[in-house]
Amino acid sequence: MSSGYALLADKAMTYLKRHPHQLPSLAAQFTPESASYFLLKFQTDVPLTLKFLQWARSSSSRFFDSRCKCYSLHVLTNFKLYKTAQSIAIDLAKEQVEQQQHQHHDPHDYVFHCLKDSYQLFNSSSAVFDLMVKSYSTLHMLQEALSTLRLAQVHGFMPGVLSYNSLLDALISSTSHTHTLPPLAAKLYSEMRRSGVSPNMQRKGCLPNVVTFNTLLDAYCKLGRIDDAFALFHVMRSKRLEPNLITCNVFVNGLCREGRMNEAAQMVEEIKWMGLAPDEVTYNTLVNGFCKEALINSMCKAGNLHRATEFLDQMHIRGLQPNERTYTTLIDGFSQQGFLNEGYRLLNEMVANGFKPSIVTYNSLINGHCVLGRMEEALDIILKMADKGLAPDVVTYSTLISGFCKNQDLDRAFHMKEEMVARGVLPDAVTYSSLIRGLCEQRRLPEACGLFKEMLQTVFLQMNLLTQH
């Protein structure tokens, strides 16, 4: 290193220790070479290095370049300051994206080789590569994350479980709209298992940990492949890995999504048996699940709403807080079955606990009144909504129109249709279906046919508007 770089680095050291107010005067003449020299020379001095990094990252000058950031990763991982190192790795990943358009080399390839070439200078560890893989994965830069993982392996470094977990999570979340587990995710998991621990106890790679399994279990559950998830769970237990509360909540959510409520409730009991305490996520998921099942099968499974309130009571006993979705789901469930007293009790409790009822909450109550034929009370709720700054939407109007039609009051139903159009709310297929059904029940077939033609034109217009946007 040039003596000029060394002099600037020593001056920075002096200012950082004794005269920090003079640092701004040094920023203009400080160079990336000076910064690199500083990090090399003082790499074992934790307080000094942290002060330098704080100055470098807050400085408006450009001396803290990509190479300095790579050097910083070595230093910070040696200090085991992974949180600060991760934030610099994120900055480095973002920076490489910006530079890609102006350079001929592949940015992430450059970062890898910079870390590799300076590895011995800092007596570093493979954690620096894990941090880059995690950063790329967090930013959904999957190609860069996978390439860094492979480059590390090719050059004899051992990527840790952090790399695999981060990449697996990013891969699965990026394909959450599909109905299959990404092949690459399955391949990475198999790779982790194969390169685990050899017979002579020398680690060749890294074993999947609880985070790995939780990521894959969540993916299987969201895909509806609960049985595959349980099979993987047994593999996890065979590896002597203890499930945590996240593992259990993943299963509770997956089982609720599939309507397997008895198994979900049983899982909660198993959680307690394992010595874990169910949390807000556990109970909110169960309450929502039982309400959903009751709404779908209200005639044969009406008791599930009361089962849901039992879990709500358990939450209160344990000092856990239901969320807005839980209250709205319960209110909707009781309203659907005409149990409005219970619905309003939950509404009052919801407001008392600091939650604001949403348009969905009010629509649920409006529907409850319509179910009971109490149309005037349903209309009163619209006034209460206005006081709260909430405007009726297409669901509000469609629910009221359906209620009037069921009460054979077609004049008021059509009046509601005129009002919604005047307010700029377009009727949808549900709105028209209620009106057409009402006309047919009164044998007003010519009007029903005319309304059907109007529905086709309106729905076609809405589809065109959606396509344009």
pLDDT in tens, 157-191: 877 777 878 887 887 776 654 445 566 676 776 66
* Side chain identity at residue 372, one-letter code: L
The contacts of residue 347 (CB under 8 Å, 6+ apart) are: 327, 331, 357, 361, 365
* Side chain identity at residue 259, one-letter code: G
**Phi and psi of 246, rounded to 5°?**
-65, -45
* 424 class by beta-carbon count within 10 Å (0-12 exposed, 13-18 middle, 19+ buried): exposed
Are the C-beta atoms of residues 361 and 327 closer than 8 Å to each other? yes
Q: Would you state the torsion angle of the CA atoms of residues 51, 54, 56, 61, taken in this order, to the nearest 10 degrees?
A: -130
| 270: nearest Cα among 287, 254, 255, 252 | 252
**57-61, 264-268, 299-303, 413-417: the lowest-pLDDT one:** 299-303
> Both tokens of residue 206?
């890294």
Residues in the chain: 469
State mean pLDDT over 124-150. 87
CB atoms within 10 A of CB 313: 11
Are the C-beta atoms of residues 180 and 211 closer than 8 Å to each other? no
Residue 396 binned pLDDT confidence (cut-offs 50, 70, 90) = very high
- Helix, strand, or coil (residue 400): helix
pLDDT of residue 293: 57
Residue 317 CA to residue 4 CA, distance in Å, equals 69
**37-41, 92-96, 357-361, 434-438: the lowest-pLDDT one:** 92-96
Residue 203, strand partner residues: 197
Are the C-beta atoms of residues 192 and 212 closer than 8 Å to each other? yes
* Side chain identity at residue 422, one-letter code: A
Residue 112 CA to residue 206 CA, distance in Å, equals 20
Q: What is the DSSP letter of 141?
A: -
| 394: nearest Cα among 458, 329, 468 | 458
Angle, nearest 10°, between helix axes 210-222 and 183-194?
A: 150
| Residues of the chain above pLDDT 90, percent | 17
Residue 218 CA to residue 196 CA, distance in Å, equals 23
pLDDT of residue 72: 93
* 47-102 per-position pLDDT tens digit: 998 988 888 887 666 788 889 999 999 999 998 898 899 999 998 888 876 666 55
